[in-house]
Homo-oligomer: A and B are copies of this chain.
């Protein structure tokens, strides 16, 4: 049988996630007992609060199906209520529990949302740089990507006039990641207002990716939903806070006409979100540990960010970057040292045992940049990793 012939045409467009490629090389070197310093990870290094883990350990002792049974596809009421209260407390938002859909992580939030709104031929506007996870999904659903180039020179600020140029009658959505992955920049209130005015005027969705919403070191998160609840679909994850990336839990909030359909899409994809994680996060969000934990995590990560910034300045004087206000990353332009970030990332891993994500995954313009995660490794290893990165960049330049 011609097995490949017997596949979906659309699936053939899917490729392995670029970070998975990096992971695979890392895995091979690990088996060779190489000690790789991981500056490529997009996940936290601080496990969720021990108090909540202790509560869940007790729950596991009970002889009942409560913890194991299917949940409503939209998520358990207790968690949707806890999320609603948390959005009020942190963002002064008024989002009803019925307008919140719990999903199996940020990836399912992305897939189910794009599955819900996109038709072939639609156009979606992405920032450049931006998180690489959206591109394959938009292409899978047959839509076309237009990119708005942001510049490091003005802190990756969105130029609304330039954005207007990209909008057409086929524009279905614009995707904003704030705090951003990979740049750590945060959208400002005035830009947010101009964007929602444009969405209203031109009739498109704003997909607001808020994965790093609670990881902010300067300033505060701008909730786009506040300005135009009828145009904004907000995607969230519990992977970064409280730090359960592998457990796959997130949520979407937005107008009920759309969230009710995202719920149906997620139901077809995974039937319901993981129940153990739902109970865990409902307990976390409602405990007094919740605000203390964010504060602790932000303090830890801010100190690491400052260490990383200082180390990059010291070791790579010709590197260019904007000090990130949020997220886990510094997006470092190495164009004074390297030309091709894909080749360089492999070189740095193979020869200098430091893992980085190439800028080309996020950008069509910053192809000589790398994304440096400052949260995953211990501080001493973070500094050593940046030293290795600098050595690699200089060696690459000389080669």
Residues of B within 8 A of A231 (CB): 1
A115 to B69, CA, bound (A): 27
Q: A53-B60, A269-B108 are in contact. Are A243 and B15 (CB under 8 A)?
A: no
Given contacts A137-B268, A257-B3, A258-B3, contact A69 B54 (CB under 8 A): no
CB pair B69 A270 closer than 8 Å: no
Within 8 Å CB of A257, what residues of B?
3-4
Closest to A104 in B: B270
Interface residues of A in 42-80 (CB under 8 A from B): 43-48, 50, 53-54, 56-58, 60-61, 63-65, 67-73
CB-CB under 8 A from A43, the residues of chain B are 65, 69-70
Q: Are A274 and B246 interface neighbours, CB within 8 A?
A: yes
Could you say which of B14, B106, B274 contacts A268, with CB atoms under 8 Å apart? B14
* A116 contacts B by Cβ under 8 Å: yes
The verdict on A267 contacting B203 (CB below 8 Å), with A48-B68, A247-B274, A272-B246 known, is: no
- Chain B proximity of A203: nearest CB distance (Å): 5
- For A259-302 the 0/1 string (1 means CB < 8 A from B) is 00100110111111111110000000000000000000000000
B63 in contact with A47 (CB, 8 Å): yes
Residues in B neighbouring A277, C-beta threshold 8 A: 274, 276
**Distance from A39 Cβ to chain B, minimum over Cβ atoms (Å):** 16
A205 at the B interface (CB under 8 A): yes
Q: Is A9 an interface residue (CB 8 A)?
A: yes
Check: A6 CB closer than 8 A to any chain B CB.
yes
* Stretch among A16-24, A210-218, A303-311 lining the B interface: A16-24
What bracket does the count of chain A residues touching chain B fall in?
35 or more
CB distance from A63 to the nearest CB of B (A): 6
Question: Given B1, B72, B106, which contacts A23 in the complex, CB threshold below 8 Å?
Answer: B72
Contact A248 B264 (CB under 8 A): no
- Does A141 sit within 8 A of B, measured CB to CB? yes
CA separation between A333 and B240, bound complex, in Å? 51
User: Measured between alpha carbons, how far is A117 from B1 in the docked complex, in Å?
Assistant: 14
Contact check: which of B9, B104, B116, B247 meets A7 at CB < 8 Å?
B116
Q: Does A230 contact B (CB under 8 A)?
A: yes
Residues of B within 8 A of A248 (CB): 104, 248, 270-275
Q: Is A11 an interface residue (CB 8 A)?
A: yes
Are B269 and A16 closer than 8 Å at their CB atoms?
Answer: no
- Can you list 19 A-B pairs, Cβ within 8 angstroms, ordered by A? A6-B172, A7-B261, A11-B116, A15-B264, A17-B267, A47-B68, A60-B60, A104-B248, A104-B274, A105-B270, A106-B271, A107-B267, A107-B271, A140-B268, A248-B270, A248-B271, A269-B270, A274-B274, A274-B276
Extra contacts, 13 of them, besides A137-B268, A140-B268 (Cβ < 8 A), are A6-B204, A7-B261, A8-B116, A11-B115, A14-B264, A15-B264, A47-B68, A48-B68, A53-B60, A104-B104, A247-B274, A247-B276, A269-B270
The 8 tightest CB contacts between A and B, nearest first, are A246-B275, A57-B57, A107-B271, A53-B60, A3-B257, A57-B60, A14-B264, A274-B274
Interface residues in chain A, defined as those with a beta carbon under 8 Å from any beta carbon in chain B: 1, 3-4, 6-11, 14-17, 20, 23, 43-48, 50, 53-54, 56-58, 60-61, 63-65, 67-73, 104-108, 111, 115-119, 136-137, 140-141, 172, 200, 203-205, 230-231, 243-248, 255, 257-258, 261, 264-265, 267-277
